[in-house]
């Protein structure tokens, strides 16, 4: 168990926009990251770097949120970019196994970066169980869009979540 309270620190107005993960990135705290990507992309930002140096671990919902951002950035004209930087070996294995390396530049080395402004923490608003289930479903559907092989990996999760949110 991590001693670090999970948090995402951001430099929202830098170019590229920087998101630093501190602690565990999971279904419990991924909603604010999805909302942050959506807001910044809607404002015209198209280049993002996610710093994994202090990321203890992550789950498939968080990876699906990243996949959703990568898919959306690819559809921009011109396409945007997503860099996943300073990734530890275990997290790198997860990223590759789920196909995110097809959507993002993956840098497992010592990517040089810093915040231009003081880092601001993202806050996770209270969400209902149904909202959390919708987020998890969307994230896992993003993973299937990223790599069709993920459909088999997550078929039970997808069935459970579709049932929970009432989608067939």
pLDDT digits (tens, 9 = 90+) for 45-57: 999 999 998 999 9
Q: What is the pLDDT of residue 111?
A: 60
Instruction: Report residue 90 as tokens.
Output: 């275990």
| Phi, psi (rounded to 5 degrees) for 33 | -70, -45
Instruction: Report residue 86 as tokens.
Output: 């300073």
Q: What is the pLDDT of residue 1?
A: 44
* Per-residue pLDDT tens over the stretch 85-94: 999 899 999 9
Mean per-residue pLDDT over the chain, rounded: 89
Instruction: Report residue 106 as tokens.
Output: 């993956």
Q: What is the pLDDT of residue 150?
A: 96
Fold of the 7-124 domain: Transcription Regulator spoIIAA (3.30.750)
Cα 89 to Cα 127: distance, rounded to the nearest angstrom: 32
Q: What is the pLDDT of residue 167?
A: 65
Q: Which helix (H) or strand (E) holds 20?
A: strand 17-25
- Beta strand residue intervals within 34-157, DSSP E: 47-58, 81-85, 105-107, 120-121
Q: Which residues of the chain are modeled with pLDDT < 70? A: 1-4, 108-118, 167-168
* Per-residue pLDDT tens over the stretch 9-26: 999 888 999 999 999 999
Q: What is the pLDDT of residue 162?
A: 94
Collect all residues with Cβ–Cβ distance below 8 Å to 44 and sequence separation of at least 6: none
Domain ranges of the chain: 7-124
Q: What is the pLDDT of residue 113?
A: 64
Q: Which helix (H) or strand (E) holds 23?
A: strand 17-25
Q: Which residue has the tokens 């604010």?
A: 32
| Phi, psi (rounded to 5 degrees) for 134 | -65, -40
Choose among 45, 62, 86, 64: nearest CA to 147.
64
């Amino acid at each position: 168990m991590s001693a670090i309270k999970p948090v995402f620190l951001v430099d929202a107005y830098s170019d590229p926009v920087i998101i630093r993960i501190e602690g565990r990135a999971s279904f419990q705290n991924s909603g604010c990251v999805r909302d942050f990507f959506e807001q910044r992309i809607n404002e015209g930002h198209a280049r993002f770097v996610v710093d994994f140096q202090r990321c203890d671990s992550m789950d498939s919902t968080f990876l699906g949120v990243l996949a959703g951002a990568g898919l959306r950035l690819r559809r921009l004209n011109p396409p945007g970019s997503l860099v996943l930087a300073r990734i530890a070996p275990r997290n790198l294995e997860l990223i590759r196994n789920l196909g995110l390396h097809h959507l993002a530049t993956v840098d497992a080395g010592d990517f040089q970066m810093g915040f231009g402004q003081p880092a601001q923490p993202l806050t996770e608003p209270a969400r209902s169980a149904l909202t959390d289930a919708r987020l998890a479903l969307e994230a896992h559907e993003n993973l299937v869009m990223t790599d069709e092989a993920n459909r088999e990996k997550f078929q039970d999760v997808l069935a459970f979540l579709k049932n929970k949110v009432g989608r067939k």
